[in-house]
Chains A and B, each alone.
Chain A
């Protein structure tokens, strides 16, 4: 897997400290390192957030040690402050950071292309094409980082992060470098203000120019060109695979020059120039923004202004989203003056779409968040008379899926920790709201916003949907789990204690599976004065089942003699374990899906749901 290959590459490069915050599609880099860190004698941690992770890595780097930070693309936004400083002040031990971008936002709120941040901060950006590249590029990235004293961005996309193929391994290595801080305050503090202010940017510009020179001869880029071709492709990162498959499909390997581009910042100007000077048309394939295309266009002005550049800016490729084999087939065929191969399945796909449902996202069977949101909806309806008297500001995590029917209760969903902040703005203009946030996200980014609410006397209501793990990304431990990423027992950090310490006076914790108790706690929260918080707590159902393996939870069943067929369990609660038999007009429960949480038994007005074993 691409992500496992990156972890392997870091270990082959002798990484000493690695830190991450889980997020799809980056999580398996950290999962892999967590599973071997002890054995390899390195430090790995799931940090509180990406900024902390980056700082941890930079600290080790300043002491001459190689370090790794990995995160999903939007995590880099959180780490941007320290990233900029590391680029300007420079690194000592190699510092490689992975931005796992998500074109077409398979698992994200947006598809932001983080290569722009590499450009903005004079940072080399490497784009591997497959798992073998991912491992090899990681090793090269450390050498590059140390040679030029710059952090290096390893930029992946979902299709690479989750691509699997055979990888030839190198040797694992432990570097024997003494960890030492050189007491040079002029490098790292404002004591060197003049030097830094006038020299930091200049030094960074000079460094990246030196990297650019080196990239022309780097193995990360390769140009395949005989001189007889009239057209060419600049194939960036993972899109190289589509390009090569297209050339095989079209039988056009000899007709198209291909620059396999592994360094999108800085561009290998000489290689690119050689290509664009030698052909009439060049297609740039990249995901999702026209980042390379823009810079090639600038270069072409000097090198070959008449070359026809095709890509996302020219309209040859879609302006957003990931590419696909079919899209690339069509663009290359068109460039060659051939008729693109049609998608013969479009009509049949349309028929299937009419027949089939879309399979909407929802939370898992037995998920405590479904129970919490059900209770919250009832509490708001009772206290306020209408569920839309209050805005539900959601946050990032599984519970963010409660906008989906039939839960249908969440109005906003932005970025880590935003729910508490935007709720305060609404409060100042007289609009009532509830911040609906998970435990991991609370630790990650919500604590400053909670302090802000208390300090400014903004009486927001906060529900912490606490399932004990960072569930959406693969059940990584978080600060209250009582265990580190490397499996060491540690202190459990209490959400209640934090809230109390910052001055929240109304705090209650309830079992999310107890619907009545949870609903009543929510009612008290809505009626409380001041900042009020309810922690709706129950371990993630999927995690609970993982812990009891190989035993399975004992499922519930519907007593058909009692079921009135009212469908309330389905239309208001809608757990995926429930079903309805149209012929019998009775609800039923799929025992292979049921997690045994017993919440639907509390929803059922006729008392027809009970445990199978009883």
Chain B
């Protein structure tokens, strides 16, 4: 059974869905079978968002616990939450060092855990945890909002996907509106370079 399985996790408003779709669109362009599932419920309202992608021999997009080849975590806590459930032993996790405190933390009911505690849990399953400051890199590219594409760049450079980094670039050129393209291309390259330099 051959399939590439990716989980993308974050919080509503971070652009996880765009990243999920670009991964899948590239797979389609490459002639691969792909299924993606999105859970976003009431995501604009600060809720957790998650995308499952299965490329290859799969009927449902839903990934079983312990089966994902990689997790792309857009937010520190969400990366850990989903990583411990879905990442396979020895899998890759790419984590944005961004904290989006939920209302429990904002209103003082809970504490946001330390980065070490969170990553410590994640390391118990991950073969590799690559922490990236995607929001700062996106700022460098021109807008912090492009952190999602920085993350995508890192994923594309990691070699987990069954196609080349340049294929994603081609799909982006065709599907992102021209006025945002330059920003997104810069963000993508910065993410990819950060992964390669690590």
Contacts and interface: CB of A to CB of B under 8 A. Distances in A.
Given A358-B104, A567-B108, A574-B103, A401 B34 contact: no
Given A106-B41, A579-B106, A325 B113 contact: no
A361 B45 CA distance: 6
B109 A245 contact: no
A471 to B, nearest CB: 8
A90 B108 CA distance: 59
B58 A245 contact: yes
A359 B46 contact: yes
Interface string B24-52: 10001000011111111110111110000
Given A249-B1, A349-B84, A363-B45, A344 B106 contact: no
A364 B34 contact: no
B76 to A, nearest CB: 10
A63 interface: no
B45 A398 contact: yes
A356 B124 CA distance: 16
A159 B62 contact: yes
Contacts of A329: 64
Interface string A317-348: 00000001110010000000000000111001
Contact of A405 (B1, B107, B118, B145): B107
A459 B109 CA distance: 38
A221 B33 CA distance: 23
A357 B102 contact: yes
Interface residues of A, number: 60
B106 A574 contact: yes
Contacts of A130: 35, 59
B38 A162 contact: yes
Given A164-B38, A245-B59, A357-B102, A345 B45 contact: no
Contacts of B1: 248-249
Contacts of B33: 165-166
11 contacts: A24-B41, A349-B65, A352-B80, A357-B110, A359-B102, A360-B46, A360-B103, A542-B44, A550-B179, A580-B106, A593-B100
A165 B35 contact: yes
Nearest to B135: A592
B38 A401 contact: no
A107 interface: yes
Given A165-B35, A356-B80, A356-B113, A401 B42 contact: yes
Nearest to A400: B42
Contacts of B102: 357-360, 362, 576
A515 interface: no
B61 A345 contact: no
A351 B121 contact: yes
Contacts of B144: 592
Interface in B108-129: 108-110, 112-113, 117-118, 121, 124-125
B117 A355 contact: yes
A578 interface: yes
B119 to A, nearest CB: 11
A248 B106 contact: no
A163 interface: yes
Contacts of B179: 550
B45 A362 contact: yes
B90 interface: no
A352 B84 contact: yes
A241 B135 contact: no
B42 A164 contact: no
Contacts of B81: 352, 356
Interface in A387-430: 398, 401, 404-406
Given A166-B28, A359-B46, A405-B107, A159 B37 contact: yes
Contacts of A324: 62
Contacts of A344: 65-66
A84 B104 CA distance: 46
Contacts of A360: 46, 102-104
